[in-house]
Amino acid sequence: MAPTLVNAAFGALLAAALLGAAFDRRSLAVVVAAAVLPDLDAVASLAVPGATNALLHAVWLPIVAGVGLYWDTRMRDASRLRGRAGWRGVRVAWVALAALLVAGVGPDLFGREGVNLLYPLGDAYYLVNGGFLFSTEDGIVQTFVSFGAEGPGILPLEALGTTESYAIGTFINPDGRPGLSLGVERELHLVRTGWQLVVVAAATALLAVRFRRGGRAGRESRTGRESHESREIPSESTEDAAEVSR
Amino acid sequence: MVSSVVHAGFALLLAAGLLGDHYDRRALAAVLAIVVIPEADSLLGPVMSGAHRTVGHNLVLPAAAAALLYYDTRLRERSALRERLADRWIAVAWVGLFVHAFAHVPLDWVHLEGVNVFWPLRDRFYVLDGEILLSTADGFVQTFVDLQIDPETGSRTLDAGGGGTTETVHVNNPVEPRAPDEATEEPVERIFPIANAGWRLYLIGTGLFALAARRLQDRSPREDGA
């Protein structure tokens, strides 16, 4: 799997981009936790063969969570989540779901180890890697998606193998197979390549800027702060009003 | 160059997180322009040796620009910029600098022959390449910067991925598809890359995702109640 630090960095970037008025330390922590969550399937791989990048990286958990969230917040008469946690709770839940899928699974799918997307209904590790370019000689060339490729999978993507034939080593499970292998050298990658270092650095700097800006806004004159908040409150209060009227 | 599309994708993600109240189409367009303009140094290639990845791809000019911007808008009593520009555009300029320093230069730094980081102060291309890991056998390991101390003389050599200079390095690009001193009879093939690895496609996709999510979201607070 891609280094967990990189998942966390992308989660933080998504949180900063999408949380809007709900952005603070707590909601950031929730979103980053969602981005890191899929990597816990490495722990399950100690007991379940080939669970790494499969059990929690498969699309089913996000789909179920997304349908549940949509049903609760859009289709029910009274949303349980909104009733308990308000507009903020709903926003954080959606962004956490996005982080789970985009920041938690994405870097693995587009990285080097691949993701068992349909596990356990289908069993194949998919990897999206290739090239997409325009050449004056050959026109548009793309090798990300390949139809009719050989391999175990049913999706038109490069397949690396099945849970039987393909094992991913992690810090928790160095050989990727069930059973504790004590005494083996373990490596915990923080960043594997240069671009991952860039992403981690960018996320760190961006969070520093955001929190510094937030702190400054808090220190500056109270009136300025209040006018800033008063702009956010109406959207929430109108929403509440709509709920009451309904 | 790593394709401008990849830079733009990552830049969109960063800009969405930084623009705050100033987030709108015009601000995003300004940020994207800041992402694309440095690639114009490939047009200088024919007149200046090694111009691409040098003139527009260093960290010295952005640092100088940031210092000027800070001096003008914060330290001076009368700011020349504030008289001409609204506050929001000064904020956007800061975001543009951030994006240039984190989404443009470093992504080229890790690619091919790297970038001329300290130009014009020092003329040397650097490639950022390596990994960082914690190992139960070796502890903390990082291979980005290689510091070696000669046990006999005690002299230190530092290898941070330094390569050639503007005289010796040519980074292929659509304007100059191959090194100028390379003479062949083959027809010239110009390649405009869009995404040459999975992670680059991922950066593009994530930027577009952030953009789309912001569009959906901005409607949601009103519609949620309906």
pLDDT digits (tens, 9 = 90+) for B44-60: 877 777 778 888 888 88
A130 within domain boundaries = no
Q: Does B151 touch chain A (CB under 8 A)?
A: no
A169 within domain boundaries = no
Which pLDDT band, with edges at 50, 70 and 90, does B183 fall under? low
Higher pLDDT, B123 or B186: B123
ipTM of the complex: 0.85
Residues of A with CB below 8 A from B196's CB? 131-133
Asked which of A159-163, B88-92, B206-210 is least confident by mean pLDDT, the reply is A159-163
End-to-end CA distance of chain B: 48
Residue of A nearest to B201 (CA): A110
- Domain residues for the domain of A90 are 4-113+176-245
Domains held by chain A: number: 1
- Preferred mutation among A1, A27, A132, A225 to probe B, highest tally of B CBs within 10 A: A132
Residue of B nearest to A210 (CA): B18
pLDDT at position B219 is 55
B9-29: pLDDT as tens digits:
999 999 999 998 889 899 999
* Number of residues that this document lists for chain B: 226
Query: What are the E-state strand segments in A115-201?
Result: 125-127, 132-135, 139-142, 158-161, 187-191
Residues of A with CB below 8 A from B198's CB? 109-112, 127-130, 144
Give the three-state DSSP class for B133. Answer: strand
| DSSP label at residue B40 | G
A160 within domain boundaries = no
pLDDT along chain A (246 residues), means of 10: 88 93 92 93 85 88 93 86 88 94 92 85 85 82 75 77 82 80 82 90 94 76 43 40 37
A131 within domain boundaries = no
With a CB-CB cutoff of 8 Å, which residues 93-122 of chain B face chain A? Answer: 98, 102-103, 106-107, 109-110
Distances (CA, A) of B64 to B54, B71, B122, B126: 15, 10, 15, 20
Distance between CA B119 and CA B166 in Å, rounded? 10
- The answer to whether A136 contacts B189, with C-beta atoms less than 8 Å apart, is yes
Out of A14, A16, A188, the one facing B133 most closely (by C-beta) is A188
Residue of B nearest to A182 (CA): B136
A12-56: pLDDT as tens digits:
999 999 998 889 999 999 999 999 999 988 888 888 888 888 888
CA of B152 to nearest chain A CA: how many angstroms apart? Answer: 32
A230 within domain boundaries = yes
List CB contacts of A65: < 8 A, sequence separation 6 or more: A97, A100
Distance between CA B209 and CA B226 in Å, rounded? 25
CA of B155 to nearest chain A CA: how many angstroms apart? Answer: 28
Has residue B115 got a pLDDT over 90? no
Q: How many CB pairs under 8 A join A and B?
A: 173
pLDDT at position A245 is 37
Nearest Cα residue to B31 out of B10, B12, B5, B54: B12
A148 within domain boundaries = no
Structure tokens at A192: 């594997």
Distance between CA B130 and CA A197 in Å, rounded? 9
Average pLDDT over residues B121-147: 85
Residue of B nearest to A204 (CA): B102
Has residue B220 got a pLDDT over 70? no
Out of A16, A107, A235, the one facing B17 most closely (by C-beta) is A16
A142 within domain boundaries = no
Q: Does B131 touch chain A (CB under 8 A)?
A: yes
Distances (CA, A) of A21 to A25, A85, A86, A207: 12, 14, 13, 15
- The answer to whether B221 contacts A74, with C-beta atoms less than 8 Å apart, is no
Q: What single letter denotes the amino acid at residue B33?
A: A
- The answer to whether B129 contacts A193, with C-beta atoms less than 8 Å apart, is yes
| DSSP label at residue A76 | S
CA of B59 to nearest chain A CA: how many angstroms apart? Answer: 14
